[in-house]
Structure 1
Amino acid sequence: MAVSTDVDLDAHFVEPTGTHRSTVILLHGTSQTGPEFSQPFLNFTLPFHSTSLNPITNTNTTLALLFPHTRWVFPTGHRRKTTVFDGNITNAWFDIHNFSDRTIGECDAIPGLRRSAISLTRLIASELAFLGPDGNLVIGGFSQGSAMSIFLLLSGELESLGIGSGNGGVAGVVKMSGWLPFRRQIGEVIDQITPEDGLSRRKAVRRYVRNLLELEEMECEDEFLDVPVWLGHGEADEKMKLHWGVEMRDMLSAIGIDVSMSTYPGLAHWWDEREMGDLVEVLKRMLS
């Protein structure tokens, strides 16, 4: 069903068939909507047999069947001018100038990154309150949604909710076919740290991202959301080049984030049984 949340984002919710114990929030790619993204994603057929999570007996299943206690949330990005689509208005988390080189016009992404980070933080806060203290929540996305979810993690906005070393219900981040906005600038921030600064890489990057997005200073700068990040990427992805995903993995690792990556020969800018199968195993660990 499509509903309007109490924040400034519309979202599509798929409710669990069993008792609600976990939530997964997934962000769509450029020019999509939450419902459009949810349909092929949740309806993708997986060749799995019976599992401990869902005692089915046939040979095919879906994510919704495998995780009967999970609420799936697919928010829709704000309507905005998207340069790469000739300036037409589309649903996007931030502006993109060029699909072949994501650094072109990167500064024009800042207003969207800021607004989306604030809106998504409010949505996550609402979902955490709805989920309750004993549940786990995973954040992620595909393509531009992947980039948005990792920038949200680096921004410190989740820590602004009071989520830090205790995690506050956030259990991980899953990203498919993405890249890291402002990767080169973040690398420069890391390279410029000196012992005299007294800064960790995590703190320096968070300060940079918050200043970039003109977000308020953190009250408790030493709190970090220490959760695993999983990246999935097709090796034949021409729209989101594999080396962009590798560069993101290496940068996140350099920052000090627990990151792992799986790549898939022959896979273009989509997902397949191999990647979805790996995603299932990752979600099992994060939501357990």
Structure 2
Amino acid sequence: MSYNNSSASSGSGTARRTFEFGRTHVVRPKANHQATIVWLHGLGDNGSSWSQLLETLPLPNIKWICPTAPTRPVAIFGGFPCTAWFDGGDISENAPDDMEGLNASAAHIANLLSTEPPNIRLGVGGFSMGAATALYSATCHALGRYRDGNAYPVNLSAVVALSGWLPCSRTLKNQIEGSHEALRRAAALPLFLCHGLADDVVAFRQGEQSAQTLSQAGFRNLIFRSYNGLGHYTVPEETDEVCSWLTANLGLEGFRLN
């Protein structure tokens, strides 16, 4: 599947990149289908590896959609091509944001969710760069549009970000404060962020700063969890908390963790 991000500028004849997304893996619900979540892998990974983990979680009412990012040159690897939701050379608030890549990935996620039945709750989650893309989707939901001005078409009910960071953080607060509707949507959207204190890939302070920026911008329904000794990976304690949080916030039936 490809997404050709057309220019939002009137009269612009600038050619835009076309992004070829990889294979999408789907984990079907084992009980009554109540929610669908698009789950996004990290840099250099693919949708298959996460689909295998998600299938083992005690969440029988969730359908998981695990897409694979486009393969592209990535600056942080010196231009070496690998699967990536957007390009990036640095993980910091001062790093330039690849708006075209972010918008293309957020639109791909929204397209995957847009065909779900109307009574199904929709969510986005991810790990590392996938978590960053999930948080970017959360900001698009709040603003009601992508950063290129095109309307954001789906209504999110939950966002989960593991070991990630927030792209486009510098301008978020002003953009959301400029719209009563954006403030309302931001305040209503549940977010669950987790980060390891020993993360040597995405520093803990980046995850913590991202949570603070989101909270200050109006995302009031936000939980930030830290884990002692956790590096850039997941552990059962973390996934158990994610399962409990999703069950509570999406009003799921079926198994509940104590």
Q: TM-score, normalised by structure 2?
A: 0.78
Q: Read off the aligned partner of 2:164 and give its amino acid letter.
A: G
The partner residue of 1:252 within 188, 202, 214 is: 214
Identity %: 28
* Equivalent position of 2:250 in the other structure: 287
Note the alpha carbon deviations across 1:115-145, whole angstroms, 9 max, x for none.
112222212212xxx3x23222221111001
Note the alpha carbon deviations across 1:159-186, whole angstroms, 9 max, x for none.
43555xxxx4x32111100111232x22
Q: TM-score, normalised by structure 1?
A: 0.70
Q: Read off the aligned partner of 2:105 and give its amino acid letter.
A: S
* Equivalent position of 1:87 in the other structure: 79
8 Å CA contact 2:110–2:153 kept in 1: the answer is: no
8 Å CA contact 2:141–2:185 kept in 1: the answer is: yes
1:173 corresponds to 2:159: yes
Aligned length: 227
8 Å CA contact 1:121–1:157 kept in 2: the answer is: no
Structure of higher CA gyration radius:
1
8 Å CA contact 2:140–2:152 kept in 1: the answer is: no
1:68 corresponds to 2:60: yes
8 Å CA contact 1:113–1:148 kept in 2: the answer is: yes
* Higher percent of residues as helix: 1
Structure 1 segments of 4+ aligned residues over 3 angstroms from their partners: 4-10, 101-105, 156-163, 220-223
| Separation (CA, whole Å) in 2 of partners of 1:90 and 1:223 | 38
* Equivalent position of 2:200 in the other structure: 238
Question: Within 5 A, what are the aligned runs for 1:205-284?
Answer: 224=185, 226-257=188-219, 258-284=221-247
Mean Cα deviation higher: 220-229 or 147-156: 220-229
The gaps in structure 1 that reach 5 residues or longer are 44-61, 191-198, 205-219
Query: What displacement does 1:80 show?
Result: 1.3
The partner residue of 2:48 within 35, 41, 51 is: 35
1:125 corresponds to 2:114: yes
* Equivalent position of 1:115 in the other structure: 104
| Separation (CA, whole Å) in 2 of partners of 1:243 and 1:270 | 16
Instruction: Pick closer, same or farther for the CA change 1:243–1:202 going to 2, 3 Å.
Output: farther
The gaps in structure 2 that reach 5 residues or longer are 5-19, 145-150, 252-258
* Coordinate RMSD, CA, aligned: 2.8
Instruction: Pick closer, same or farther for the CA change 1:280–1:27 going to 2, 3 Å.
Output: same
